């Protein structure tokens, strides 16, 4: 639940250019890239509360959000206002998801992912190589003046983005994910405020979870550097232009089975590859899609490879087909040891 909720909250939707004030489109504007850098910082450090509407495949989901940066730590609370009741509370790396209809609490730990998580990981230097960044002028969103920034891919391996960035706080108030100009998904604040402080009481769960079943998910053990190879050596070859290995970790599923996760990024988009023993779950071979999220699966030497991310299908497939075992790991798999 936590990863699914985080995934859909970080996706983008269409910003209609007809509402933006005319502005000279000057290519890779240093000012626009600097504004994206400010936005990356704002999603982590701003204190705010508001209501967010998320649109995907004709469906709308509405959530209340409270966020603050307190004692050098992000804290966030999400409450569903439509659909299935759910509540997510995050304090630093610890994420607690409450599903009252199922009397279930999911607890997990993973690297910080804010409500606007994808923006918080933007890399200005990588971004310039893989995207054209354009300042489209000003408009209004949620009653506030915003700058409109377009992020246009330079090739077929990534989506395009547009965002409305609040002129005073640099917090993105409307986020877009585009495929050749077609809207895939949309997230926007319909209400937002920026109080100086938010009390501890606003991060306390609404539900009494006494008697609920609690499921704890083990954190992924991430190598200190992406070049440190876990025991089962897998390498990515011939990645799509601009994508690099950013994280490489292992989660123990059972006493004898583990799943390896590799995270790739081009400075904006992220793609995860999961490598696990075949047969643990229903096999996935070939491509599948849910909205803007594309996945591609393959089975190699009794190993299930699954690549998933908010990227075009060609990107997920390219990465999946170019994950290879080293000779040492392949020999170990073949011997059954």
| Matching CATH number, 220-335, of 3.40.50.970, 3.30.200.100, 1.10.3470.10, 3.40.50.1820 | 3.30.200.100
Average pLDDT of the residues in 160-174: 95
CA–CA dist 34, 47 (Å, integer): 21
Q: Are 14 and 186 in contact (CB under 8 A)?
A: yes
pLDDT digits (tens, 9 = 90+) for 182-218: 889 899 999 999 999 999 999 999 999 999 999 987 6
Domain ranges of the chain: 2-215, 220-335
CA–CA dist 294, 308 (Å, integer): 6
pLDDT digits (tens, 9 = 90+) for 229-284: 444 578 899 999 999 998 888 876 666 777 888 999 998 899 999 998 888 778 88
| Cβ neighbours of 44 (radius 10 Å) | 16
Query: Residues 59-65: contacts with CB within 8 Å, 24+ apart?
Result: 61/8, 63/9, 65/115
Look at strands 258-265 and 270-277 and give their pairing: antiparallel
Q: Is pTM beyond 0.85 here?
A: no
Torsion over CA: 272, 291, 243, 136 (sign)? negative
Phi, psi angle pair for 71, to nearest 5°: 50, 45
Residue 53: C-alpha distances to residues 12, 81, 82 (Å):
11, 10, 10
**309 pLDDT exceeds 60?**
yes
pLDDT digits (tens, 9 = 90+) for 103-159: 999 998 765 454 455 666 677 677 888 999 999 999 999 999 999 999 999 999 999
Query: What's the confidence (pLDDT) of residue 218?
Result: 64
Fold classified for 2-215: outer membrane lipoprotein receptor (LolB), chain A (2.50.20)
Structure tokens at 55: 């649109």
Query: What's the confidence (pLDDT) of residue 243?
Result: 94
**Residue of 174, 176, 141, 158 whose CA lies nearest to 265:** 158
């Amino acid at each position: 639940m936590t990863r699914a909720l985080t995934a859909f909250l970080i996706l983008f939707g269409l910003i209609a250019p007809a509402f933006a004030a005319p502005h000279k489109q000057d290519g890779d504007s240093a000012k626009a890239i600097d504004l994206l850098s400010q936005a990356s910082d704002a999603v982590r450090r701003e204190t705010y509360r508001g209501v967010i509407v998320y649109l995907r495949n004709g469906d709308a989901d509405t959530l209340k959000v409270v966020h603050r940066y307190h004692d050098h730590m992000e804290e966030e609370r999400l409450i569903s206002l439509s659909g299935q009741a759910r509540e997510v509370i995050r304090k630093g790396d610890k994420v607690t998801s409450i599903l009252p209809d199922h009397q279930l609490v999911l607890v997990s730990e993973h690297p910080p992912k804010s409500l606007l998580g994808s923006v918080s990981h933007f890399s200005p230097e990588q971004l310039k190589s893989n995207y054209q960044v354009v300042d489209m002028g000003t408009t209004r969103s949620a009653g506030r003046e915003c700058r409109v920034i377009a992020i246009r891919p330079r090739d077929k391996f990534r989506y395009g983005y547009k965002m409305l960035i609040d002129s005073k706080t640099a917090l993105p108030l409307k986020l877009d994910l585009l495929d050749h100009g077609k809207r895939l998904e949309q997230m926007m604040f319909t209400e937002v405020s920026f109080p100086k402080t938010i009390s501890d009481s606003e991060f306390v769960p609404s539900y009494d979870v006494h008697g609920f079943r609690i499921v704890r998910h083990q954190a992924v053990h991430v190598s200190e550097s992406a070049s440190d190879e876990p025991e089962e050596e897998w390498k990515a070859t011939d990645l799509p232009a601009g994508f690099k290995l950013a994280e490489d970790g292992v989660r123990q599923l059972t006493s004898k089975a583990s799943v390896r996760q590799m995270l790739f990024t081009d400075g904006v988009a992220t793609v995860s590859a999961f490598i696990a023993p075949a047969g643990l779950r229903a096999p996935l071979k070939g491509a599948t899609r849910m909205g803007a999220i594309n996945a591609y699966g393959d089975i190699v030497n009794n190993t299930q490879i699954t690549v998933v991310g908010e990227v075009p299908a060609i990107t997920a497939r390219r990465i999946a087909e170019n994950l290879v075992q080293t000779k040492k790991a392949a020999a170990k798999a073949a011997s059954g040891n």
